[in-house]
Every structure is written in structure tokens, then in C-alpha cells.
Structure 1
């Protein structure tokens, strides 16, 4: 998808909601990246592309990386600047990076690679990476082996008019690399399971911050979320919801 499609642009209508409720990433993700690149992130020149409100940028900085962020959305960039005023932020997207040739040790795409045109974004990443540098793309994917999560996915799919994701097998390594447009590169894949427990209202706000919701009618979304709140209160009477994820990481090394 292009970063200018309605779904891609929809996040600007809910930037504050996104910043407050979206899940972060587990420490194991960054430890794994360090293992795959063969050295600590401390001191690395890292470009975080599609940085959004800075969820991944914060964690990269905590590892000591020297981060520059790239973000196309006005509202998302404003949230980023409020949260991380001392981090360089440039406007642009992954299809045409506003960065110099061979200027970065690592390029990261947290939840944003699928918004790019890989026929353009892969060559751009290789251009900006130094020789031996790495491109890391990852997603918090949903753990559909948890029964209540799979059942919720079916309800969400009906509401949004899309096919349920819970019925699809998780792609094997070869398919994951091909679907990401990284075939022909040396790619390592790792998957890490983790969870967070949040208040019910945070879970629902996270759910409704996804693009499939943001492009729908607000009144219809409100009615769905009210029904979902009632349903989840029966499952979680203390209104504390454990969300389970599998971080799916692909790391490609520039020759």
C-alpha cells in the first residue's frame, strides 16, 4: 500500500489515541536485533522509518542508538515531537527516503513496512545503508491461538467487512520473506511471543486505533465497541485484559 492511501493516512485522525494505547515491543526484540547484526545498538546510526508517535524510537534510544526518525503524517509527527523533542525528525516516507547514501548502520520499520511499495522501498533502504548495514522490519502480530483473541478477530472482521485473520496459517520463513519483498537478500527471521495486561478501555482504544476502524463511520464503531465492552466484561470481570502478541522480525543485511 502507498503511504498516501486513505487507510495509511487515517492514523493522523487518531494520533493521540495511537500514542496512548498502542502496545510497545519487548526487550527481547532489540536483544535479538543486536545478536543478528553482531554488535550492540549503542552508538549505531539508526533511521526509524514510519516512526509514528515514536514507540520504537524510544526503545532504540534506550539502547544507546543514534536515531533519526522519518514520518510522513502531520499529526503523528506532532505527537512525536511532543514526546521526543531532542530526536531529529524529518518528513518523508519509505518510498523516497530523505537521507544520504550509505549514511545509516540500521534502518527500522516498526509496524510500517507494509505501507511501502517494496519495488521502491527496498532499493531506497539499500541506498541509505552502509555496506554491511541491516534493514529490520517487524510487526506485533496477534496470537490467534488464544481462543478469546481468535473469537474477537472474527467479530472485528465482520464489523469491518474483511476476512478474519485468525483462520490464516502463519507464513513460513520463505513466504514471509517473499511477501515482504525481500527475496534475493540474506534475511533472518525471528518470532518472539510476549503479552501485556491493560485496562479494558485501553484494549478497546488500541483496537479502534487500527486503520480498518479509522476509515469507518464513527457511530457504527461506537456501537460495535459498546457491544465488545459488554462481551469482554463477561470474560474479564476485573476489566483487566491480557493481550498476547508474537513479534515477527525480518532482518536483511546489505551486501
Structure 2
């Protein structure tokens, strides 16, 4: 299964994505503002690969003048439903539908891995204002929590992928891939958790790309087995999902 096929798979599960995917902790946005040496309020921000608008909504709550960019039609439709007052453009990170030197901050929440850095980094630098910032982040798996690690390994076996936490490349490697240097780069990790119902948790794991591309029978069988295992561990069908947000930031010269 190609990366592009996995990237397109999200558009088949926009409802699940909106219902189950986790948000992000306030400390993440505190650090972004600190790195930028300015508040997010009033900043011109483009959220790339915005999906259903999870990160976009949080940026708007901070007072940012934010716009979403999303390639998927179904995901963009969910975005418009949830954030009717926020503009969204169809496009992707390799060819931003944005004017030159027009934004203070460009964000990629869970979406940088779907770009070709030889194209996306120059596009980011084209769109950012001088001194503007790029922020890339993921919610990664908290492997030190036994039940989460066990589930991640079961998903990896079922999907035929390597069992490892999704994380950024070491420090500034995502930028170096495009042959750039001299950027001010910072990396932070923020641990956080949320309490969810069993149904919300299953909607979350079933919205990941490696799971979405499985045959329908395999997906149904796995979710049924997983529901049974989790009910034994959490009889009240309420559980705590723990994440480590991995954030990379860089500034345009």
C-alpha cells in the first residue's frame, strides 16, 4: 500500500476522524507562542492538512487569524460543518494555495509525513513572512503505558506495520532533508491524557491510515476482538488515553 493511498484513505472516514481523534494540550500552543516571541492572537496562521479542524479550532481559540488547507473533500466538508466561520482551501502541503510572504505561522498537525519535503519546505519558506515560523507536530504513542503498548503492537501485527511510536525525525532532520541549513530550530515533547468512552477510543484507532486501508472484514473482526479485551480491562467502558505530543519548530530567515 503506497503512502499516497494511505493519505487518501482519511477521506473515507471523516466522520470517525471527527468523532474519535484526540485534541492537543494548551502547553503545546504556549510553546509555539514562546518560540515565535509573540502571542498567537492576531497572527496570520495557515493550518495545512487541517482535516476536520481539530488544530484549527484551537488556534482560533487563541485568537489567531487562521485558515485551513485540506486536500480531502469529505474532510473539508466536516471542517466546514464544525468551523463554519473559518475559511478552508483545497490543497496540500506540496503546493500551498497561499500568497508569497503572507503568513506568520504555518502548522502541520499530524500531516507533515504526507508531504515531499523537497517540495513542502520551499513552499513553507515561500509563504512565511520574514521571521515567521513552521510548526510540525504529532500525538505519539505513550509506550510506557502497558495497555497502550499492547494495543499498539496488536494493531501493528494486524496492519503489517512496524510497532513503534510515531515521532518526528531527530531534531531538525525534517528540515535538513530539503538541503536547508541555518534555521533556528527547537523541539519539545509534551505529555498529556484524556478520558474517553470505549466507543470514542475505538473510533479513534479505526481512523488511522494503516487501519483504514485494511479489508472491511479484517477491520470489523479486529474491532470486535479489541472491544472484548478492553471491556475486561475497563469494565465501566471509560479509559485514559495517554499521548506525548512531539513538536518541531523552525523559523524562516
- Give the TM-score taking structure 2 as reference length: 0.95
Q: Which residue of 2 aligns with 1:60?
A: 59
Deviating beyond 6 angstroms after TM superposition, the runs of 4 or more aligned structure 1 residues are: none
Which of 157, 172, 176 aligns to 1:177? It is 172
Q: How far apart are 1:179 and its partner, in Å?
A: 4.4
Q: Which residue of 2 aligns with 1:14?
A: 13
Q: Which residue of 2 aligns with 1:233?
A: 231
Residues 145-224 of structure 1: pairs in structure 2 closer than 5 A: 145-165=144-164, 175-179=170-174, 181=177, 184=181, 185-224=183-222
3-state SS, counterpart of residue 194 of structure 1: strand
Q: Which runs of no fewer than 5 residues in structure 1 stay unpaired?
A: none
3-state SS, counterpart of residue 17 of structure 2: helix
Query: How many pairs align?
Result: 250
Separation in 2, partners of 1:31, 1:82: 27
Q: Does 1:244 align with 2:239?
A: no
Q: Deviations over 1:212-239 (max 9, x none)?
A: 1110111111111111111111111111
Query: Per the alignment, do residues 59 and 8 of structure 1 end up closer, same or farther by CA in structure 2, a change over 3 Å counting?
Result: same
Q: Which residue of 1 aligns with 2:28?
A: 29
3-state SS, counterpart of residue 28 of structure 1: helix
Q: Which residue of 2 aligns with 1:44?
A: 43
3-state SS, counterpart of residue 161 of structure 2: coil
Q: How far apart are 1:2 and its partner, in Å?
A: 8.8
Separation in 2, partners of 1:106, 1:164: 33
Q: Which runs of no fewer than 5 residues in structure 2 stay unpaired?
A: none
Q: Which residue of 2 aligns with 1:73?
A: 72
